[in-house]
């Protein structure tokens, strides 16, 4: 956990559900996870609220009306996301009307997971709860709030900081990745993943050197699960519900590629490999008005292993 994001550490007696506990036991990190789990709070303290207020983007994970899981990108001028209380967050605007979560968010209330990630400082904050439409855009009632360490976060500078602008790029939908989309995924050093269980939704980040995500067919991806904070929230969710949503972002052009499908974890051999099956994609050119610099790769990124 980032020590500078001071969170309210009042928590449930058991911060993990059975899926996460099962993975922690399998990997042998139950004691470590129990210690780290004390960082999962129920409220947002002033320093965390200040962090949110500086962010020009927020990634949100939820399910659409058909039960498919998606991860979506929201952007705005700093202050578009702001804490309005110890357990409440207001988001100005929302997702674009063409976003696969647009209808579900407009209908609300909806279980949601979010991650505010700042490439400029390598800080990130995750929050889960319930989202509803509001006069300003979206209102989130926070139930779980915590920060993560900067591992696998690439550092970037922001060149277009206001987060405004129209989204007028082409929109593509389909069920099989095109060759250009396959190359887009292979070149990625970052993606976001949304997973869920009856206990709630989680949005998280995955990072590594370009090539850490492998494309084995137009409908299958895989990546190594690198050592992290021992919570195993994402893999724990996948233990009980394989539905997941991925979000890839072209940091220089603002194009997004959203994937929904199912994921499973392969524990055979050394380490862990997550294998994702694509069911649908939505590609939006210029979905984000933000423009970021080339990355300074995290020193924690492991060297690539082929054939995962």
What are the respective helix, strand and coil percentages of the chain, to the nearest 5? 15, 40, 45
- In angstroms, rounded to a whole number, what is the distance separating the alpha carbons of residues 294 and 138? 31
Residue 236: its pLDDT value, please? Answer: 86
Max distance between CA atoms of the chain, in angstroms, equals: 52
What range defines the domain where residue 81 resides?
7-284
Q: How many domains does the chain have?
A: 1
> How high is the pLDDT of residue 227?
84
Q: For residues 75 and 79, give the distance between their C-alpha atoms in angstroms, rounded to a whole number.
A: 10
pLDDT < 50: residue spans in the chain: 1-4, 6-12, 308
In a domain, 305, yes or no: no
* In-domain check, residue 292: no
Residue 199 lies in a domain: yes
Domain assignment of residue 269, yes or no: yes
Task: Measure Cα distances from 20 to 13, 16, 34, 37, 60 in Å.
Answer: 15, 6, 11, 11, 21
pLDDT value of residue 211: 97
Look up tokens 């709860």; give the residue: 129
Residue 20's pLDDT is: 75
Q: How high is the pLDDT of residue 22? A: 79
Q: Does residue 299 lie in a domain region?
A: no
pTM of the model: 0.91
Question: What pLDDT, on a 0 to 100 scale, did the predictor assign at position 234?
Answer: 86
pLDDT, position 138: 97
Whether the Cβ atoms of residue 44 and residue 145 lie closer than 8 Å to each other: yes
3-state class of 60 per DSSP? Answer: strand
CATH at residue 252 = 2.30.110.10
Q: What is the pLDDT of residue 166?
A: 54
In a domain, 303, yes or no: no
Does some domain include residue 301? Answer: no
- How far apart are the C-alpha atoms of 18 and 155, rounded to whole Å? 34
Q: What is the pLDDT at residue 229?
A: 78
The residue behind tokens 């550490």 is 9
User: How many whole angstroms separate alpha carbon 34 and alpha carbon 155?
Assistant: 30
CA–CA–CA angle 304, 1, 15 (5° rounding): 105
| Under 8 Å between Cβ of 274 and 225 | yes
Q: Answer yes or no: is 153 within a domain.
A: yes
β-pairing verdict for 137-148 and 190-197: unpaired
Tokens of 217: 């067919």
User: Contact 196/238 with Cβ under 8 angstroms?
Assistant: no
């Amino acid at each position: 956990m980032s020590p500078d994001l001071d969170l309210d550490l009042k928590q449930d007696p058991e911060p993990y559900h059975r899926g996460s506990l099962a993975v922690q036991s399998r990997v042998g990190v139950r004691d470590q996870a129990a210690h780290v789990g004390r960082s999962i709070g129920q409220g947002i303290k002033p320093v965390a609220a200040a962090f949110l207020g500086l962010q020009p983007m927020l990634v949100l994970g939820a399910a659409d009306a058909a039960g498919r899981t998606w991860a979506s990108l929201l952007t705005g001028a700093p202050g578009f996301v702001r804490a309005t209380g110890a357990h409440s967050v207001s988001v100005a605007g929302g997702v674009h009307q063409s976003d696969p979560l647009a209808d579900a968010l407009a209908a609300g209330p909806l279980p949601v997971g979010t991650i505010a990630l700042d490439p400029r400082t390598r800080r990130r904050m995750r929050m889960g709860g319930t989202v509803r439409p509001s006069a300003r855009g979206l209102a989130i009632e926070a139930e779980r709030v915590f920060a993560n360490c900067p591992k696998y976060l690439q550092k970037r500078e922001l060149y277009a900081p206001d987060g405004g602008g129209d989204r007028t790029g082409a929109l593509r939908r389909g069920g099989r990745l095109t060759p250009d989309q396959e190359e887009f995924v292979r070149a990625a050093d970052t993606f976001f993943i949304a997973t869920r269980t009856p206990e709630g939704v989680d949005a998280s980040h995955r990072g590594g050197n370009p090539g850490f995500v492998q494309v084995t067919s137009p409908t299958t991806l895989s990546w190594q699960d690198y050592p992290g904070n021992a919570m195993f929230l994402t893999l724990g969710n996948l233990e009980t519900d394989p539905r997941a949503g991925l979000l890839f972002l072209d940091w220089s052009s603002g194009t997004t590629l959203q994937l929904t499908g199912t994921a499973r974890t392969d524990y055979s051999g050394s380490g862990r490999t997550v294998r994702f099956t694509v069911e649908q994609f939505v590609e939006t050119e210029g979905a984000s008005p933000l423009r970021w610099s080339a990355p300074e790769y995290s020193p924690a990124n492991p060297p690539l292993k082929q054939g995962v």
